[in-house]
Amino acid sequence: AAAHAAGAQFAVSPGSTDALLDAADDIPMPYLPGIATPSEAMKLYERGYTYMKLFPAEAVGGRTLLKAIGGPLPELKFCPTGGIKESTAPDYLALKNVMCVGGSWMLPAALLEAGDWAAVEVLAAKAAAL
């Protein structure tokens, strides 16, 4: 609610709880809840969600897990984050159930600390072009 009041246009979380999902139901803003297991994905699907974040993607099986989930749950789409690299992002994006990826490779700490927003913009544009 605070993010929406501050002007956020969407919300993303690394996981989901019943309280968080209930709160998201009351806010007129798109919400991308996080999962790490097929059971969590099925629970969200029962609540009407078809778009989800997979986090931490690499730690929970990454592309192998997404391929496995895609068989029995083809209607679900994911945004994997957590351990994704610029070099692995295209492999994720090639999966039918991946709509986008997230990664911190485009936000190196040194550039953020230096306030080098032009360099961050270049990295973000390169990532968007994937």
Residue 4: pLDDT band by 50, 70, 90 thresholds? very high
Would you state the pLDDT for residue 42? 97
Q: What digits encode the pLDDT tens for the residues 27-74? A: 999 999 999 999 999 999 999 999 999 999 999 999 999 999 999 999
% pLDDT > 70, the chain? 100
| Cα separation, 101 vs 5, whole angstroms | 26
pTM higher than 0.85: yes
Tokens of 58: 């690499």
Q: What digits encode the pLDDT tens for the residues 81-113? A: 999 999 999 999 999 999 999 999 989 999 999
Per DSSP, the three-state class of 18 is: helix
Contact between 40 and 49 (Cβ < 8 Å)? no
